[in-house]
Amino acid sequence: MGAWDFGPFDNDSAADWCGDLQDAEPARRVELIRDTLTAVLHEGEYLDSHEGSAAVAAAAVIASQLPSGSPLTSAYAPDFLTGGGTLDIPADLPALALRALDRVAGDDSEWRDLWEDGLPKALTALQPVREALRSAAG
């Protein structure tokens, strides 16, 4: 994972995924988010960092669209969202995103293994995302 900081979008895989979301037809963007999160939950025994990083970015996108979420400010986030665009987030996506984040941060995850000594900072960077998702998931 080519990472330059601890934020949800601050690595090559997340930035690539955000480009895919940006380029997707607007009507398919929520489907792409759902597919990304679902893929993490159905991945084999050991979760690849590419899928994990994409799921972290997807969860951050969802959180940014919730009433308790913070707007996206990262230069690597999808331009349509940093430019004021929005997504209609179905009610089930925050809970799905939380489950995906649990998998990404779990023991059998390359994302977790690659952070090594930086794991506490990476997990701390995800706290605002988790809090917004928890608030919406009930």
Residue 3 lies in a domain: no
Classify residue 6: in a domain, yes or no: no
- pLDDT at position 40, please? 96
Residue 113 to residue 62: CA distance in whole angstroms: 25
Confirm whether 1 is domain-assigned. Answer: no
The span from the CA of 112 to the CA of 118, in Å, is: 9
Q: What is the pLDDT of residue 111?
A: 94
Strand pairing partners for 11? 3
pLDDT tens for residues 17-28? 999 999 999 999
Tell me, yes or no, whether 90 lies in a domain: yes
Give CA–CA dist 62/29, Å, rounded. 11
- Res 7: pLDDT: 84
Give the separation between CA 107 and CA 128, rounded to whole angstroms.
Answer: 22
Answer whether residue 101 shows pLDDT above 70: yes
Residue type at 40? V
Residue 54 tokens, joined: 């994409």
Q: If you average pLDDT over every residue of the chain, what do you get? A: 94
Per-residue pLDDT of 27-74, as tens digits, reads 999 999 999 999 999 988 999 999 999 999 999 999 999 999 999 999
Number of domains, the chain: 1
Is 4 inside a domain boundary? Answer: no
Q: Is residue 96 part of a domain?
A: yes
> Is pLDDT larger for residue 124 or for residue 6?
124
Q: If DSSP codes are grouped into helix, strand and coil, which group holds residue 45? A: coil
For the question of whether the overall pTM of this predicted structure is more than 0.85, the answer is yes
User: What domain range is 50 assigned to?
Assistant: 12-137
Q: What are the backbone dihedrals phi and psi of residue 74, each rounded to the nearest 5 degrees, phi first?
A: -65, 140
